[in-house]
Chain A
Amino acid sequence: MLRTFAAAAAGLFLATSANASDFTPAIIFDMGGKFDESFNQAAYNGAERFREETGIDYLEFEITNDAQREQALRRMVRKDADVVVVVGFAFATPLEAVAGEETDRKFTIIDMVVDLPNVQSVTFKEHEGSFLVGMAAALASKTGKVGFVGGMDIPLIRNFEHGYKQGVHHVNADDEVISNMAGTTSAAWTDPARGAELAISQFDRGADVVYHAAGSTGEGVLRAAADRGKLGIGVDSNQNGLHPGSVLTSMLKRVDVAVYNAMKSAMDGNWQAGAQSLGLAEDGVGYAIDENNRALITPEMEAKLEEAKASIIAGDIVVEDYYSTQQ
């Protein structure tokens, strides 16, 4: 009953925000919502940038449970959206079904590869960005122990963890990485209390820098770090400003660029299907330095990070991705 109500309310909202213009892009956010200060918010920023620059409104939908994914996709198709951007790996299965039927409509999926002639798949080399923040964590750690809190236990998040560990060990091979996952269902993205509890358990075991890749669950991780005078590392969006002085840096994943490019290229007529993977070389991932964490990243640290970044781009350092270890 609640779900139908929510869907109906969302439908009503969509109807009013639709624009009379000829080109209509659409975006569907994942669990956690567009203001999760993280992954979805990066996507939202990209869509907002498109709206500001072109003046064209977009259709949007925020998923609140897994069953809504296909429903939302079909709704966007019915609203005649020209390109539908879906944000998140979990859309792969419903997208395969819907895109397979709607063969003349454009779809862009972020964080997952769907191999269909009308689907553009944008993935990121999270392991490369995570490598750099892993280095930063190891350089900032005084105890030689650092932590990682993942959201849902899936290969994508394992890829963050894998790159992070390599970065930590690149600085100091003896450093220990304590790793936790918040859960195995999509509820693991929206549980800040559990995030805080996991972070505290890692601090108790000696970690003093914790990196999260856990959507809004990570808000709890960063808050626990700030409360206890430890350091957190943000993810996806720049989260340095959430707790100024307590967030060492943020692993940026330029989902905003991907969303913006998908919408813009579809409007300009040069949208292309196929898979693309954005890494350090393409500026698809990176780390954030701003006034909130300037004091935490010393010039020596920054020099080392920049050096490693150049080496990765040049191919002198190869960061292994998690998927290749699983074959």
Chain B
Amino acid sequence: MEFSYLSALLLLDSTIRLAAPLVLAALAGLFSERSGVVDIGLEGKMLGAAFAAAVIAQTTGSAWMGLGMAILVSVALAMVHGFASITHRGDQVVSGMAINIAVAGLGPTLADAWFDQAGRVQVTGAGTRFQPIELPFSTEIGRIPYVGQLYVEVISGHNLLVYVAALAVPLVAWIVYRTRFGLRLRAVGENPGAVDTAGISVTLMRYRALMATGVLCGIAGAYLSIAQNVGFTRNMTAGMGYLALAALIFGKWRPVPALLACLLFAFTDALQARLQGVDIPGIGQIPIQAIQALPYLLTILLLAGFVGQAVAPKAIGQPYVKER
């Protein structure tokens, strides 16, 4: 492989496609965790949403209906998590895991019952998928050297949900740091007692945070089954929810650093697809096993060396009890 400008751009392009679901899920986790509710159930919510999106897109023939259903299902699962861990003060990790396990089994089982395709849902037909969008003027701008290529290869030509993910980052940052809701959200995760004293319901705040989590996870799940892929397959999230959670912690529970962490994970993933079977000057071919371990090695190295201490929201994992 020649390490040209174009191949670097195509690598970035692939990074963006792989990062989009991670970014959405990490931002989803940010709402929940900033409000003091550990959300290990991102994986399950994404998987549930992916399943719902595939089923509805296939039966109605509309990707938008699929997206809507994905969000509904994901929010519903978030509410179950909230009911167990906020209202009934159950253990948040246990409740999250329960959602993951339930969805992992329920999706393929229902798919079997409804479609008889061995736990899969295939999405076929026009309009059932979010297709790549060519941004305006791509042919005109494409003629400009360097910048034009960047515009055509990297920025243009993704599906709608990728742009949603990109816009979600500044939006979430604005909500968390610049709005009244954001201030209360952060406060309820740090010191719920103080928020309660100010006359704001901790329970309601946390439920609202989980609702935001549900919406973002729903979009992430729909991305998997009706934008990036065509259909739902067993365990198609493949640990992405956990990876997003890791990115969130990596990014110290802040939107922009979490975005960078997601991009890093996606970049190593994209890189390993391109490093396989390539002769590196002076080294020769790297064994596939070593290349596939690369993202994880890099993560450990960065976590150990460069990130420094990650301080979680103070009240995270603790159910709020009014009277002690």
Contact = CB atoms under 8 A, between A and B. Distances in A.
Interface of A: 1-2, 5-6, 9, 33-36, 62, 64, 153, 178-181, 183-184, 187, 190-194, 196-198, 200-201, 204-205, 216, 220, 223, 227
B309 interface: no
A184 B277 contact: no
Contacts of A35: 117-118, 120
Contacts of A220: 229
A183 B276 CA distance: 11
Contacts of A187: 238
Given A33-B118, A192-B233, A197 B292 contact: no
A33 B229 CA distance: 18
Given A1-B101, A180-B277, A205-B274, 8 more contacts: A36-B118, A62-B118, A187-B238, A193-B224, A193-B229, A193-B236, A201-B270, A204-B10
Contacts of B289: 153, 184
A135 B119 CA distance: 36
Contact of A198 (B10, B230, B273): B273
Q: Which of A1, A6, A33 neighbours the largest number of chain B CB atoms within 10 Å of its CB?
A: A33
Given A33-B119, A204-B7, A180 B17 contact: no
Interface string B72-102: 0000000000000000000000000000010
11 contacts: A1-B101, A2-B101, A2-B104, A6-B105, A180-B273, A180-B276, A181-B288, A191-B238, A196-B229, A201-B10, A204-B7
Contacts of B117: 35
Contacts of B234: 33, 64, 190
Contacts, number: 73
Interface string B286-298: 0011001000000
Contact of A178 (B18, B228, B277): B277
Contact of B292 (A33, A184, A201): A184
A254 to B, nearest CB: 21
Closest 9 CB pairs of A and B: A33-B118, A204-B10, A35-B118, A201-B273, A35-B117, A180-B276, A2-B105, A179-B277, A201-B274
A36 B231 CA distance: 13
Contacts of A181: 276, 288
B273 A33 contact: no
A5 B17 CA distance: 35
A318 B4 CA distance: 39
Contacts of B288: 153, 181, 184
Interface in B89-130: 101, 104-105, 109, 117-120
A153 B117 CA distance: 26
B104 A201 contact: no
Contacts of B292: 183-184
A152 to B, nearest CB: 10
B1 A34 contact: no
A33 B17 CA distance: 27
A302 B201 CA distance: 74
A187 B18 CA distance: 18
Nearest to A217: B233
A201 B289 CA distance: 19
Nearest to A40: B118
A62 B116 CA distance: 13
B101 A201 contact: no
A153 B292 CA distance: 12
Contacts of A194: 273
Nearest to B124: A242
A299 B27 CA distance: 55
Nearest to B109: A9
Contacts of B17: 197
Contacts of A190: 233-235
A44 B1 CA distance: 40
Contacts of B14: 197, 200-201, 204
A5 B101 CA distance: 11
Nearest to A35: B118
A13 to B, nearest CB: 10
Interface in B272-313: 273-274, 276-277, 288-289, 292
B277 A193 contact: no
A183 B287 CA distance: 11
Nearest to B239: A187
Interface string B223-246: 010001111011110100000000
A181 B238 CA distance: 17
B270 A197 contact: yes
A180 B272 CA distance: 10
Contacts of A216: 120, 233
A227 B10 CA distance: 16
Q: Which of B117, B238, B274 neighbours the largest number of chain A CB atoms within 10 Å of its CB?
A: B274
A6 B106 CA distance: 10
Nearest to A64: B234
A191 B292 CA distance: 14
A223 B230 contact: yes
B135 to A, nearest CB: 18
B105 A205 contact: no
Contact of A197 (B231, B233, B273): B273
B41 to A, nearest CB: 15
Contacts of B273: 180, 194, 197-198, 201
Contacts of A34: 118
A130 to B, nearest CB: 17
